Structure 1
Amino acid sequence: MSASSIETLEMRIAYQDATIEQLSDLVYAQSREIDRLNARYEQLESRMGALAESEGGDVPNLDETPPHY
């Protein structure tokens, strides 16, 4: 293998390492955002339940299709 080929391979590996690091950072940031959104969802779900209880009604099932569908 020539020196030029080895240098080319080393450059490719360096770029791949940088790309892997960027992707890793992105996955970590997305994981934190998903955790934050899940916590917010649970807060909102809890508040809806508390509001429904204070009004004396049942907690609405948001997964149910409305009757007009």
Structure 2
Amino acid sequence: MEHRLVELEIRLGLAENLVDELNLTVYRQQQQLDLLQEQLRHLHRQLEEGLAAGGRRPASEEIPPHY
């Protein structure tokens, strides 16, 4: 009986560690998603401002006519 209890305690400890690692992974991924969403919003604002200003690209970004 004692051996089974120790085995269960070990498994519980390993499971708790795994849950902690998974939570940290999810937290980091959410931070990355938040950063990417902010960057996307920034790019969208830039695009909208460019279109509102006449929709022309700067000369350095113009696509050559052969495309």
Q: Same fold (TM over 0.5)?
A: yes
Amino acid at match of 1:45: H
Amino acid at match of 1:23: L
Greater relative contact order (Cα < 8 A, sep 6+)? 1
Determine the C-alpha separation between the residues in 2 that align with 1:8 and 1:47: 59
Return 5+ residue gaps in structure 1 as ranges: 58-69
Q: Which deviations, in whole Å up to 9, do the C-alpha atoms of 1:4-59 show, x marking residues without a partner?
A: 100100000000000000000011001111110110000000000111122x24xx
> TM-score with structure 1 length normalisation?
0.75
Matches within 5 A, 1:25-44: 25-44=24-43
Return 5+ residue gaps in structure 2 as ranges: 56-67
